[in-house]
Structure 1
Amino acid sequence: MSSPACAGRPLEQTSPRELRRVIAAGYIGSVVEYYDFLLYVTASSLVFNKLFFSNLSPVAGTIASLGTLAVGYIARPLGGLIFGHYGDKIGRKSVLVVTLLMMGIATTLIGILPTSDQVGTLAPVLLVALRIVQGIAVGGEWGGASLMAFEHTQPHRHGFATSFSAAGGPTGTAIAAGALGLFALLPTEQFYSWGWRIPFLLSAVLVGIGIWTRLKISESPLFLQEKRRQLEQGQTKVPLWEVLRAPRTLILAFFAMLAAFTFNSLVGSFGLTYARDSGLDVSVILGIQVLGGVCCALSMIAFGAISDRFGRRRTLGFGMVTGALLSYPFLQLIGTGDTVSTLLAYLMFYIFVNGPLFGPSGAFLSEQFETGSRYTGASLGYQAASTLGGGLVPLLLASLFSAQNGGRGLVLFLLIGVGVTSACALAIGAATSHRNSTAITDNAAHEISGTVPLQKEKSG
């Protein structure tokens, strides 16, 4: 997206060293953000129902705990809207530093919260408030971390470069589960008294590392060119309005990621509770999460690279279909209460479902929007899907499971239905927007090379 005035002014090429630094900063920052955000997911499934909802029955306490989990996901689109706007207006880098700082403060404060036995109903109220802050922060994080890698990289490597930001999620999960699992080895009374708090307090250290890495990287060259172009032409654009002018693109982004978050909820929160109720010890479950998170991160990077070769939609479609097919075996295996079977179920799902669904997602969504509204558009599509698939689905899965007294029929119906719906939406989007998305990729190549004037990008 370039004017003739800017077309003759080539963009400065990102050096290999700087590119590695940008990718590393995106990965490390995402690890820290998702360590904080997903530490809460793990704790809400295994700990918070006993500490913050102790006046409820075990089933009601679990549902209430997962309800606070949903609040964070509901806040994510708000974060995407707020920080997406400022990321498109003032720059990607500064926004990423702010979101990381917000997340770190909220997570550290959770580590010192009083429980319901100490302050009554004030405890869950404070927990929900801090969860909202977490949701707003992570809502602004994902788009910026992916865009920095996307906008520093040549188009033929977009999938591989952006996959590292995605891989920060399961890496953060693995570290969070490992930290919580380590302290879960304490005697039960000590773990529920103070042991669970330490992983939350460690966030302060991790955030310091993440901010240091992000302060050392350069701003996106495509963003700088777009701002220069707008100044030279005297333009003032509202990013949200630019996105809403082509709502089909935003709807496609939502449906493309809905299956990803729904299947992630199956393994990330509902699966943990189900495995525990099937007889597995908490420390064993967290150990499986650690190994699964590492394999999932490697799978995301691999499928990000695969998407550069075979296309984003084919890779995403593969993940949607495998998610629908593997949901039943996954529940069967973790329902046995056997450690090896549960480990096999998690590895199978993480590698062949989460990997192809999240690995190419950063590149796929970034390619759908213009540079001037890319942060806003990609963030809103991704975070809206996270609200429904990541926030409300765990609650729905737990409720359906409870309504059937442990039956899996309705749970499977929901999971398979979402997978098929997302695959159909992706196929329809591919059939109606192939030419536009090809034009976007071509424009991205010209933007980076700066060699020829560009047509106005079209949302695909």
Structure 2
Amino acid sequence: MSDTTAQHPAHTDDPEYAANLRRATLASSVGSALEYFDFALYGLFSALIFGQLFFSNLPPEFAVVASLASFGVGFLARPLGGLFFGTLGDRLGRKWVLVVTIGLMGGATTLIGALPTYDQIGIWAPILLTVLRLAQGFGAGAEQAGATVLMAEYAPVKRRGFFSALPFIGIQLGTLLAGLVFSLMSLLPDEVFFGWAWRIPFLASFLLILVALFIRLRLRETPTFVELEKHDQISQRPIREIFTKGLPGVTVGVGLRMAENGGSYMFQTLALAFVAGNFLASPVDRGIAAWGVTIGALIAIFVLPLTGHLSDRFGRRIVYRTGAVLMLVYAFPAWWLLSLGDPVTVVAVIALGVGIAVNTMLGPQCAMLPELFGNRHRYLGVAMAREISAVLAGGLAGVLGAYLLAVSDGDWLLPAIYMATLALITTASTFLVPETRARDLLRLDDAVRVSRDESRSDAEIEAELQRA
């Protein structure tokens, strides 16, 4: 059977399709909000709080390193979760995997709020924290990949970039909520904050889990997966396919994510630890510094759909490359300005880094990653690209960056070089991937395996858009 056989998904003028598109957007957005509320909250607490709660037996600067290491450990579990759940997503469908992952991830986050501290049970406190962080990472390993695939497969072809970016506003809402909660809680007296109040946002995430589960249980399977079932094309060995046919797509996908994912966590965790810890002569108040993340998430709510729309108009690669180059240019002045320790400057630098530099890449990425892979192993391919890069970029960003700062006595130049290196890798990767805009998601072959003579011209892409 041909790679392009079967029918394209319905269009938005079909009332049933339009209703399912709205459900898919809501289901993806709520899950993204929960995941990034959990991760942003954990990132903020690991950078500024958990060192004192769970690693109080260490010197302050190395307590931060250990705390950020516990944050990074979650990334080690993400590829395993992506491999496990991604395989199920390609064999059983997108919907039920998303139901299971949201429960696992949210349950682990809730239990973190019930953990005793180091002063209460000693070494068992950081051990239990690490175990729950691993469980959180295992569930998150397929959560965002599933939301990405779900939305791309539901979205209309001509506006796939825009619609695929909409659920990722949930990421910004989750980050915004986490930053807002942390900033407000920082106003509490230290004895209250460190005594019991820090537990509240983790325990309260249980309410978000219930809402997400209710929405996802009402969701229908994606049109492209239904076509696989109809034509008996479901892969029984998606792992074998991804490591034989899909490896080029995974490799390029990892490269594309290095600056976006690594830069995001450097601004959201490492930068906060740098300005609010013992690295500066006059540290910035942790509550004020966290406002940078909050404002950055607010900016990203507008940047994401805009850059998704621009990728529909001008192509995924050019918009993505613009974001990568922007981060490359921004890295050195940003970290130098952070080293000055001026509170207003700190908030502005973090907000612009998170809101514009990172999300100019994330906008086109939402559609681009699913477009890189064929229909039989798309879920697994996106999961592997996202989660391997999450280990290499996001997972290392905090702990390696904190270590570099600790051994260099807070030299801002080292994290700047680190961020610029990530941006160079992503910039180079944008030259290795073909233009994927308007690619038929019913195709079974991967985009990166298309030879040069098969690459589509701009005229051919426009012709495909007219037919869609």
Calculate the TM-score normalised by the size of structure 2. 0.89
Aligned to 2:236: 237
Aligned to 1:43: 45
Q: Which amino acid aligns with 1:140?
A: A
Give CA deviations for 1:61-110 in whole Å, capped at 9, x if unaligned.
Answer: 00000110110011111111111111111111111111111111101100
Aligned to 2:154: 152
Give CA deviations for 1:167-188 in whole Å, capped at 9, x if unaligned.
Answer: 3222211111212222221110
Is 1:399 aligned to 2:403, yes or no?
yes
Is 1:143 aligned to 2:145, yes or no?
yes
Equivalent positions of 1:111-122 (< 5 A) are 111-122=113-124
Contact kept in structure 2, 1:300 and 1:354, CA below 8 Å: no
Contact kept in structure 1, 2:158 and 2:312, CA below 8 Å: yes
Give CA deviations for 1:182-209 in whole Å, capped at 9, x if unaligned.
Answer: 2221110110010110000111011111
Aligned to 1:20: 22
Calculate the TM-score normalised by the size of structure 1. 0.91
Aligned to 1:416: 420
Please report how far the alpha carbon of residue 456 of structure 1 lies from its aligned counterpart in structure 2 after TM superposition.
4.5
Structure 1 stretch displaced more, 96-105 or 270-279: 270-279
Three-state SS of the structure 2 residue aligned to 1:196 is helix
Distance 2:126 2:444 in 1: 49
Is 1:336 aligned to 2:340, yes or no?
yes
Please report how far the alpha carbon of residue 253 of structure 1 lies from its aligned counterpart in structure 2 after TM superposition.
0.6
Change (3 A) 1:236 1:137: closer
Q: Which amino acid aligns with 2:236?
A: K
Equivalent positions of 1:4-83 (< 5 A) are 7=6, 11-13=9-11, 15-83=17-85
Distance 2:413 2:292 in 1: 25
Change (3 A) 1:10 1:57: closer
Contact kept in structure 1, 2:259 and 2:358, CA below 8 Å: no
Aligned to 2:440: 443
Please report how far the alpha carbon of residue 409 of structure 1 lies from its aligned counterpart in structure 2 after TM superposition.
2.4
Please report how far the alpha carbon of residue 289 of structure 1 lies from its aligned counterpart in structure 2 after TM superposition.
2.1
Distance 1:269 1:351 in 2: 15
Contact kept in structure 1, 2:270 and 2:402, CA below 8 Å: yes
Distance 1:256 1:110 in 2: 32
Contact kept in structure 1, 2:335 and 2:415, CA below 8 Å: no
Is 1:425 aligned to 2:429, yes or no?
yes
Give CA deviations for 1:207-228 in whole Å, capped at 9, x if unaligned.
Answer: 1111112122211011011122
Three-state SS of the structure 1 residue aligned to 2:210 is helix
Distance 1:283 1:393 in 2: 22
Aligned to 2:447: 459
Contact kept in structure 1, 2:270 and 2:398, CA below 8 Å: yes
Three-state SS of the structure 2 residue aligned to 1:15 is helix
Specify which of 311, 315, 337 is matched with residue 311 of structure 1: 315
Distance 1:349 1:221 in 2: 36
Please report how far the alpha carbon of residue 164 of structure 1 lies from its aligned counterpart in structure 2 after TM superposition.
2.2
Change (3 A) 1:456 1:80: closer
Distance 1:200 1:349 in 2: 26
Distance 2:176 2:18 in 1: 29
Aligned to 2:211: 209
Give CA deviations for 1:99-157 in whole Å, capped at 9, x if unaligned.
Answer: 11111110110001000100000000000000001101111101111111111112221
Aligned to 2:258: 258
Aligned to 1:452: none
Please report how far the alpha carbon of residue 12 of structure 1 lies from its aligned counterpart in structure 2 after TM superposition.
4.8
Contact kept in structure 2, 1:259 and 1:320, CA below 8 Å: yes
Aligned to 2:293: 289
Structure 1 stretch displaced more, 174-183 or 315-324: 174-183
Is 1:273 aligned to 2:277, yes or no?
no
Change (3 A) 1:236 1:45: closer
Contact kept in structure 2, 1:102 and 1:134, CA below 8 Å: yes
Please report how far the alpha carbon of residue 414 of structure 1 lies from its aligned counterpart in structure 2 after TM superposition.
1.9
Please report how far the alpha carbon of residue 425 of structure 1 lies from its aligned counterpart in structure 2 after TM superposition.
2.5
Structure 1 stretch displaced more, 37-46 or 116-125: 37-46
Structure 1 stretch displaced more, 81-90 or 296-305: 296-305
Q: Which amino acid aligns with 2:335?
A: L
Contact kept in structure 1, 2:258 and 2:425, CA below 8 Å: no
Contact kept in structure 2, 1:329 and 1:345, CA below 8 Å: no
Distance 1:442 1:21 in 2: 23
Distance 2:342 2:415 in 1: 21
Distance 1:236 1:151 in 2: 17
Runs of 4+ in 1 over 4 A off after TM superposition: 1-4, 9-14
Structure 1 stretch displaced more, 414-423 or 200-209: 414-423
Aligned to 1:177: 179
Aligned to 1:450: none
Equivalent positions of 1:74-113 (< 5 A) are 74-113=76-115
Structure 1 stretch displaced more, 13-22 or 146-155: 13-22
Contact kept in structure 1, 2:332 and 2:413, CA below 8 Å: no
Please report how far the alpha carbon of residue 386 of structure 1 lies from its aligned counterpart in structure 2 after TM superposition.
0.7
Is 1:124 aligned to 2:135, yes or no?
no
Q: Which amino acid aligns with 1:125?
A: I
Distance 1:356 1:132 in 2: 29
Distance 2:116 2:75 in 1: 23
Distance 1:126 1:458 in 2: 41
Aligned to 2:462: none
Distance 1:163 1:120 in 2: 44
Please report how far the alpha carbon of residue 248 of structure 1 lies from its aligned counterpart in structure 2 after TM superposition.
1.4
